[in-house]
A and B are shown apart, each in its own frame.
Chain A
Amino acid sequence: MIKTTGLEFAYPASSPLRFPDVDLPQGTTLLLRGSSGSGKSTWLALVAALVPPIAGSLEVAGQNLTALSRVQADAWRARTLGFLPQKLHMSAALTVAQNLGLAFWAAGVAQDHRRIDAALAAVGVAELADRLPAQLSGGQAQRVALARAVLMQPRVIAADEPTASLDDDAAREGLQLLHSTAQLYGATLVIATHDARVGDFLAGAAADVPGHVQALRLARLQQPETSA
């Protein structure tokens, strides 16, 4: 679950950004919309406890994030949040399995090869474990990145522009997998995008579950209207 009230953040030497309140139950999906520069990344960083807000309350997966120290926030993020970045960031020097292992390294826990295999199997690419990223197709790489995001069995999965640079078929397939994987792990799903196809897909996928999908639209500027 994600619950925010009066959330504000300020970059150095600029006026604060204000975000609309969100109340998202566990296991549902949030569509975070807005054009580039509208603050989607900032909102994700706040929810990921990468930066603290300057005002407002912020509760994610039952944890009040404003109460965490920096170190606690990192540990919390490693356990709780699965991140699917727009650029997949596979380390070229590491095999697929080792790229997944980065998540264990980042969390400071021992490598668990069975969990790596299980996560790869969950997204249907178990046989790619020993490949290098350069040997993967675009679709395979996306699946591997998703496996990495769910490796620690997170409560929240955040996907940043998952359909950018994908054609319609690939985008639909990717979203389908993302959505079903989140369902499989019972995770809350946040998709940040300015791609209208994502909304269309979610509307279709969750048509029979009322309230499953919420949308948060960020305008280009959330600065207070001081000039008026």
Chain B
Amino acid sequence: MNTLGLAWRYLWSRPLSAVLNVLLLALGLASITFLLLVANQVERAFNRDLAGIDVVVGAKGSPMQLILSGVLHLDVPPGNVPLSAVNALKTNPLVAEVIPISLGDNFQGYRIVGTSLAYPQLYAAKLAQGRMWDAPMQVVLGATVARTLGLGLGQTFAGSHGLAGGGHAHGDSAYTVVGVLAPVGGVLDRLILTDTASVWKVHEDYTAEDAQDRAAMEEEREVTMALVRYRTPLAAISFPRWVNTSTEMQAAAPALEVTRLLHMLGLGTDVLRAFAGLLLLTAGLGVFIALWSAVRERRSDLALLRMLGAPPARIALLLLAEALWLGVLASAEGLLLGQLFMAALVYFLGLDSALLTGGLQWPAELAVVPALALAVSLTAALLPAWGAYRSDVLQLLQTR
């Protein structure tokens, strides 16, 4: 039997105390695991959804709103921009690609996005069934949309006005499902894609009073924003400034805005992190009390070990080994609890494929958890170990 084996047996010689201490420590570690998973998944979701979009051009207003509405599809857009202005961007030599995005309608809470075929290509989306649209009023469903709404090829539906469910229904203009995308694990899964012209058609059909009216509307066609890819990275220096000063539109860099957003979210997770830290501190105190009382309870056992020839350092090491076991067990349990909590949260709140993607993912940051566990448990054991190291043999001999 080596020191680790002996420490293991000593630990379980008081099972209740061992279980409670492991649990206490594990709860703090589970909170930290959870926080790390949330931060990791949000960041990854953002980066994934940015998908090589260099800049977003849309109506003037908050640049973050533009990104949240047009790239992450979480917010409403600041307004529309004229189609002609967006088309003018295509002639700019710095621009490689312009993808129009038109928002305005939804079906049962899922956004109907008018765009071009380049948009799904941006995310390397593949069709699971059917084909892409080749005419207005044909739609291709994201994987989550198809699954939750139970819509299949050939079925039709009418969109509602607005970006959340429950708006006015456009009763006369029905969309036909022509394709369903395979899951991409990103924002595309939650969208209903159609041709930009569909959105115009729906609204013109709805508002136009006669043919003349309609012609006027066609002249003033708008899109919500345009996703732009640069021809050269150098464009980042001059293109946004050109858009902001020479046009009625604004340019927002997704990478910049997402960094800003993560920074703001950071303030929120700081509170949770402080709370997890408090839990860990409490757990550390628990470990300390347990080991301290173990030393007191086992005074005579420790004295016997000294009589058998164990140097004080080996006895101190025995206590540290016990703390090590606590840390290892708590790490395993904390990681597991954190993952399960994350999985349960995503499952029960139906956050699936929004920002959080679920539990049982192991980003490298989670290495912090066992490191923290060992740091806390070993630190808590230092004083008891020192006590065991310093224990006065004579006093021990006399407390029979």
Q: Could you tell me which A residues sit within 8 Å of B by CB distance?
A: 11, 41-42, 44-45, 48, 50-51, 70-71, 74-79, 81, 83, 85-87, 89, 91-94, 98, 101-108, 111, 148, 160
Provided the pairs A45-B394, A105-B2 are in contact, do residues A83 and B308 lie with their beta carbons within 8 angstroms?
Answer: yes
Contacts of B400 in A (CB 8 A): 85-87, 160
Contact A51 B394, beta carbon cutoff 8 Å: yes
Contacts of B393 in A (CB 8 A): 45, 50-51
A161: nearest chain-B partner, CB-CB: B400
Contact B300 A87, beta carbon cutoff 8 Å: yes
Contact B304 A98, beta carbon cutoff 8 Å: no
Contacts of B260 in A (CB 8 A): none
Q: Can you list 30 contacts pairing A with B, beta carbon distance less than 8 Å?
A: A41-B397, A42-B394, A44-B397, A45-B397, A48-B307, A70-B312, A74-B306, A74-B309, A74-B310, A74-B312, A77-B309, A78-B308, A81-B307, A81-B309, A83-B307, A85-B400, A89-B301, A89-B303, A89-B304, A91-B301, A93-B10, A94-B9, A98-B9, A101-B1, A105-B3, A105-B6, A106-B310, A106-B314, A107-B309, A108-B311
CB distance from B152 to the nearest CB of A (A): 63
Contact among B2, B3, B13, B314 for A91, CB-based, below 8 A = B13
Contacts of A98 in B (CB 8 A): 1, 9
Contacts of A83 in B (CB 8 A): 304, 307-308
How far is A132 from B314 in the complex, measured between Cα atoms in Å? 24
- Between A and B, how many residue pairs show CB distances below 8 Å? 94
CB distance from B123 to the nearest CB of A (A): 58
Contacts of A92 in B (CB 8 A): 13
How far is A81 from B3 in the complex, measured between Cα atoms in Å? 22
Q: Which one of A51, A76, A91, A108 has the greatest number of beta carbons of chain B within 10 Å? A: A91
Contact among A11, A89, A105 for B1, CB-based, below 8 A = A105
How far is A70 from B306 in the complex, measured between Cα atoms in Å? 12
Contacts of A91 in B (CB 8 A): 9-10, 13, 301
Contact A102 B9, beta carbon cutoff 8 Å: no
For the complex, is B155 an interface residue (Cβ under 8 Å from A)?
no
Contact A93 B398, beta carbon cutoff 8 Å: no
For the complex, is B362 an interface residue (Cβ under 8 Å from A)?
no
Contact with A along B292-306 (1 / 0, CB 8 A): 000000001101111
